[in-house]
Copies of this chain bind each other. A is one copy, B any other.
């Protein structure tokens, strides 16, 4: 599991990367392997549902054991299943890129980072950057 210090640095790095890329205001969440919040920051002007979306991207990745890009691809071909998952999980699964698993060098899941605010590709890019900058392996769910 990540320490609070590591998770905080990751969140701050993601926000810094968003600013460097000229992203819209972001909300960044880091969750532990049990899906519970470690750190969340919402930038000025990031809308009020963003904290839930950022958490749900990360939670869905942990919930299914797959980065949320893979969930998005599966939702496109199995929409009824993901509609059922939305209900089953009480909304905690959002199948859109930007929920990225944090793995160690042996593949173990240490945490997940979820970002919402810009388009899904940019959200994901900021998460991947922050995870790799922290010395971990980012698993966005394929083809990043």
Interface residues of A (CB under 8 A from B): 3-4, 8, 32-49, 51-53, 56, 62-66, 72, 75-76, 78-96
Residues of B within 8 A of A79 (CB): 79-80, 83
Q: Tell me, in angstroms, the Cα distance from A107 to B32 when the chains sit together.
A: 19
Q: Tell me, in angstroms, the Cα distance from A82 to B78 when the chains sit together.
A: 13
Which of B3, B47, B89 sits near A65, CB closer than 8 Å?
Answer: B47
Q: Tell me, in angstroms, the Cα distance from A76 to B81 when the chains sit together.
A: 10
Q: A34-B33, A34-B48, A88-B94 are in contact. Are A80 and B82 (CB under 8 A)?
A: yes
Closest to A52 in B: B88
Q: Which of A42, A64, A75, A93 has the most CB of B within 10 A?
A: A42
Q: Which of A35, A36, A47, A85 has the most CB of B within 10 A?
A: A36
Closest to A62 in B: B48
Let me know if B3 and A44 touch, CB within 8 A. yes
